[in-house]
Amino acid sequence: MSGPGGRDAEVEAFLPVPGQGGIVVRRVDDLGDQDLDDRASVRLRKKGGEMAAAVERPGGEMQLLSQFNGPGDLETEYKISMPKSFRVEVLPGNQGVAFEDERGQLVAGVAPAWAVTSSGNSLLTRFSWDEKQNVLTQEVEEVGLRPADYPVVTDPYLGKRLYHKSTVTGTPQRYKVNAFVTAWGRTWTGRATFSYHKDEVRSQLGARANWYTGSIREQHYWLFTNEGVVG
């Protein structure tokens, strides 16, 4: 990781798929020849910006900080290493990024793109995906920026689990599904993400997945789209 004034600061994040433990964050120069199981992981190598840091958050989540101290290409590239059967989808309407396994199940994701000026003003920004190069890029709109607006910061928020757990209380005649959303799950709430929320709740219910009926799904979706929170 280079310090202030050095371009292309690097941080690498290793995200095991669910069931493989929490997110492990290491600096690139600390990795060496460590053997990582690429059958069960998504690895991101970040380039771009003049400072870089990986910040672990509770619940196996993390943020990747990039800082741009002056005008130039305000782009951050993330080199993705993952199994060939995995796929990356940039969700429409700046609703984030989904990493899916060969079954189409969510294994990790990135919250909607975010960038701010030194005074805290939000900037237009977006993700794009280069499938041939396996590179996820965050681009920040530079038009209208003044010297006083720097440094500009981007801070992608990565996570794996949308819910801590989901349970059913009550009887077959009258029951309630309780979905305990994670902090990351609260940020990943665009309409394009709802199918992932639904699937995760159903999977956590196990043998009671069929209790997640059409009526429950409609209530879940209403909370999701109208309350800004899930569960």
Tens of pLDDT, residue by residue, the chain (231 residues)? 222 333 444 455 555 444 433 333 333 333 333 333 333 345 555 665 666 677 777 777 888 888 888 888 888 888 887 888 889 999 998 899 999 988 888 988 999 999 999 999 999 999 999 999 888 899 999 888 999 999 999 988 888 888 888 988 888 888 888 888 888 888 888 889 999 999 999 999 999 999 998 888 888 888 877 655 444
pLDDT of residue 50: 67
pLDDT of residue 221: 86
pLDDT of residue 45: 59
Going from the C-alpha of 201 to that of each of 80, 84, 107, 225, the distances in angstroms are 27, 27, 14, 16
pLDDT of residue 26: 34
Strands (E), the chain: 11-16, 24-26, 41-47, 51-57, 61-68, 75-81, 87-90, 97-100, 106-110, 115-116, 125-130, 135-140, 152-154, 157-159, 163-171, 174-181
pLDDT of residue 195: 93
pLDDT of residue 21: 34
Interatomic CA distance for residues 19 and 220, integer angstroms = 25
Whose structure tokens read 């969700």?
91
Global pTM? 0.76
Interatomic CA distance for residues 159 and 175, integer angstroms = 30
Q: Token pair of 118, please? A: 């030194």
Check if the beta carbon of residue 88 is closer than 8 Å to that of residue 98.
yes
pLDDT of residue 42: 55
pLDDT of residue 36: 32
pLDDT of residue 190: 80
